[in-house]
């Protein structure tokens, strides 16, 4: 079945440091890939997405590139802020051959803490 593996946290960085959170996947067909962010006590918010190979999703300074050859979708940000402290989830959706299955498969999440 489909699966997502992301680096385990927690990740602790100082403000303005470079961030990478690794994400790799296995899926049938051609999945779409997503990064979600969850702030404490809240639901998940879509951060960025990519729907085909070599697409780059970007939002709020975060970027991730869909790499089909390495089945990866690593999240990066050049300079993190204290307000970026949250849990980050990598996810995919891979419609079945009948096109009737749109479920998301999530990684376990990575807790990021950014210190001033």
Partner 1 sequence: DGGITQSPKYLFRKEGQNVTLSCEQNLNHDAMYWYRQDPGQGLRLIYYSQIVNDFQKGDIAEGYSVSREKKESFPLTVTSAQKNPTAFYLCASSPVADNQPQHFGDGTRLSIL
Helix (H, G, I), strand (E, B) or coil at 90: strand
Kindly tell me which of 43 and 116 has the beta carbon lying closer to partner 1: 43
Chain mean position to CA 78 = 16
- We find the least distance from the C-beta atom of residue 17 to partner 1, in angstroms, to be 24
- We find the least distance from the C-beta atom of residue 103 to partner 1, in angstroms, to be 6
- We find the least distance from the C-beta atom of residue 16 to partner 1, in angstroms, to be 29
CA nearest neighbour of 84 among 8, 27, 15? 15
Give strand pairing partners of 65. Answer: 56
Cβ atoms 4, 25 nearer than 8 A = yes
**Chain contacts with partner 1 (rule: CB under 8 A):** 32, 34, 36, 41-46, 49, 51, 89, 93, 95, 99-100, 102-104, 106-109
Kindly tell me which of 17 and 106 has the beta carbon lying closer to partner 1: 106
């Amino acid at each position: 079945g489909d699966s997502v593996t992301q680096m385990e946290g927690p990740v602790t960085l100082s403000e303005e440091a470079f961030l990478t959170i690794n994400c790799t996947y296995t899926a049938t067909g051609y999945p779409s890939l997503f990064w979600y962010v969850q702030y404490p006590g809240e639901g998940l918010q879509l951060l960025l997405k990519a729907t085909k190979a070599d697409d780059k999703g970007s939002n709020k300074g975060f970027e991730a590139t869909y790499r089909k050859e390495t089945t990866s979708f690593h999240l990066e940000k050049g300079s993190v802020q204290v307000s970026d402290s949250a849990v980050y989830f990598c996810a995919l959706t891979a419609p079945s051959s009948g096109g009737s299955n749109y479920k998301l498969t999530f990684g376990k999440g990575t807790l990021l803490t950014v210190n001033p």
